[in-house]
Structure 1
Amino acid sequence: MIASDLSTLPQPPTRPGNGHLQDWALSPLPLIEDGARRARAAEMDLFRLRLGIPAVVGFSPAWNRRLLGDLDTFRSAGGFSAVVPYLAGGVILTDAPLHRRRRQTINPSFGKKHLETLRARTQAALPPIPDGEFDALAWADSAVLRLLNAAYFGGEFDSQLLHSFLAPLRRPFPVPALPRPLLFVRVDAELRRLATRRLTQGGDDLLAVLAPVPGGLEEARVSLAAAHDTTTHALAYAVWHLANHPQWHTPEHHSAVLKETLRLHPPGWMGSRRLSRELDWNGIRLPRGTLALYAPYLSARDPQLWDDPQEFRPQRWERKPPAWAYLPFGGGERLCLGMHLAQMLILDVLSALPPLRAFSGDDTPVPGITLGPRGPLVVARQS
Structure 2
Amino acid sequence: MMIGTDVPAAAGAVPLLGHTLRLLRDPLGYLEAQRAADPLVRLRLGRRDCYLVNRTDLAVRALTTQQDDFDKGGPFMEAARLLVGNGIITCDADDHRGQLPLLQPAFHRRGVEGHAEVMRRCVQEVVGSWTDGSAIAVGPAMHRLSSLVIARTLVSAPTGHRAAAVMAETLPVLLRGLFRRMVLPPPWPHRLPTPANRRFAGATARLDGAIAEVVAQYRGSGEGRDDLLSRLVGATSGDGRRLTDREIRDQVMSLLSAGIETTATLLTWTCHVLARNDEVAANLRAEVDQVASGCPPAFADLAGLRYAKAVLTEALRLYPPTWILSRQAIRETGLGGYAVPDGSVILISPFALHRDPGLFPDPGAFRPERWLSHDGTARPRQSLLAFGGGRRRCLGELFGLTEATLALAAVVSRWDLRPVRREPPRTVPRMLLVPEPQPLLVRERR
Q: TM-score, normalised by structure 2?
A: 0.77
Query: How many angstroms does 1:148 deviate by?
Result: 1.8
Q: Residue type of the partner of 1:99? A: H
Identity %: 24
Counterpart selection for 1:369 from 420, 426, 431: 431
Query: How many angstroms does 1:218 deviate by?
Result: 2.9
Q: Residue type of the partner of 1:111? A: H
Query: How many angstroms does 1:113 deviate by?
Result: 0.7
**Is 1:338 aligned with 2:389?**
no
Specify every segment of 5 or more residues in structure 2 that has no aligned partner in the other structure, as ranges: 182-199, 236-242, 289-304
**In structure 2, distance between residues paired with 1:196 and 1:79:** 37
* Secondary structure in structure 2 of the residue aligned to 1:324: helix
The structure-2 alpha-carbon separation of the partners of 1:10 and 1:268, relative to structure 1 and needing over 3 Å to count, comes to same
**Is 1:352 aligned with 2:346?**
no
* Secondary structure in structure 2 of the residue aligned to 1:54: strand
Query: How many angstroms does 1:150 deviate by?
Result: 1.5
**Is 1:61 aligned with 2:119?**
no
Q: Which one has the bigger helix percentage?
A: 2
**Is 1:83 aligned with 2:118?**
no
Contact 2:388 2:394 in 1 (8 A): yes
**In structure 2, distance between residues paired with 1:74 and 1:263:** 24
* Secondary structure in structure 1 of the residue aligned to 2:310: helix
Query: How many angstroms does 1:239 deviate by?
Result: 1.5
Partner residue, 1:227: 259
Partner residue, 2:282: 247
Contact 1:264 1:297 in 2 (8 A): yes
The structure-2 alpha-carbon separation of the partners of 1:150 and 1:211, relative to structure 1 and needing over 3 Å to count, comes to same
Query: What is the correspondence of 1:204-215 to structure 2 with a 5 Å cutoff?
Result: 204-213=226-235, 214=243, 215=247
**In structure 2, distance between residues paired with 1:10 and 1:356:** 48
**In structure 2, distance between residues paired with 1:228 and 1:339:** 13
**In structure 2, distance between residues paired with 1:193 and 1:12:** 53
**Is 1:48 aligned with 2:50?**
no
**In structure 2, distance between residues paired with 1:305 and 1:284:** 23
Q: Residue type of the partner of 2:417? A: R
Contact 1:56 1:293 in 2 (8 A): yes
Query: How many angstroms does 1:79 deviate by?
Result: 4.5
Larger mean Cα displacement after TM superposition, 278-287 or 362-371:
278-287
Query: How many angstroms does 1:203 deviate by?
Result: 2.5
Query: How many angstroms does 1:257 deviate by?
Result: 0.8
Q: Please give the per-residue CA displacement for 1:331-358, whole angstroms capped at 9, x wherever unaligned.
A: 1100111111111111111121123132
Partner residue, 1:140: 142
Q: Residue type of the partner of 2:388? A: G
Counterpart selection for 1:193 from 217, 224, 239: 217
Q: Residue type of the partner of 1:87? A: V
Counterpart selection for 2:225 from 203, 207, 212: 203
Q: How many residues align?
A: 375
Contact 2:109 2:398 in 1 (8 A): yes
The structure-2 alpha-carbon separation of the partners of 1:133 and 1:321, relative to structure 1 and needing over 3 Å to count, comes to same
Q: Please give the per-residue CA displacement for 1:49-98, whole angstroms capped at 9, x wherever unaligned.
A: 12121101114232222211223321214442233322321222332344
Contact 1:81 1:87 in 2 (8 A): no
Contact 1:210 1:220 in 2 (8 A): no
Query: How many angstroms does 1:29 deviate by?
Result: 0.3
**In structure 2, distance between residues paired with 1:195 and 1:248:** 49
The structure-2 alpha-carbon separation of the partners of 1:377 and 1:321, relative to structure 1 and needing over 3 Å to count, comes to farther
Query: How many angstroms does 1:21 deviate by?
Result: 0.5
**In structure 1, distance between residues paired with 2:410 and 2:54:** 36
The structure-2 alpha-carbon separation of the partners of 1:168 and 1:25, relative to structure 1 and needing over 3 Å to count, comes to farther
Partner residue, 1:71: 67
Q: Residue type of the partner of 2:208? A: F
Query: What is the correspondence of 1:147-158 to structure 2 with a 5 Å cutoff?
Result: 147-154=149-156, 156-157=158-159
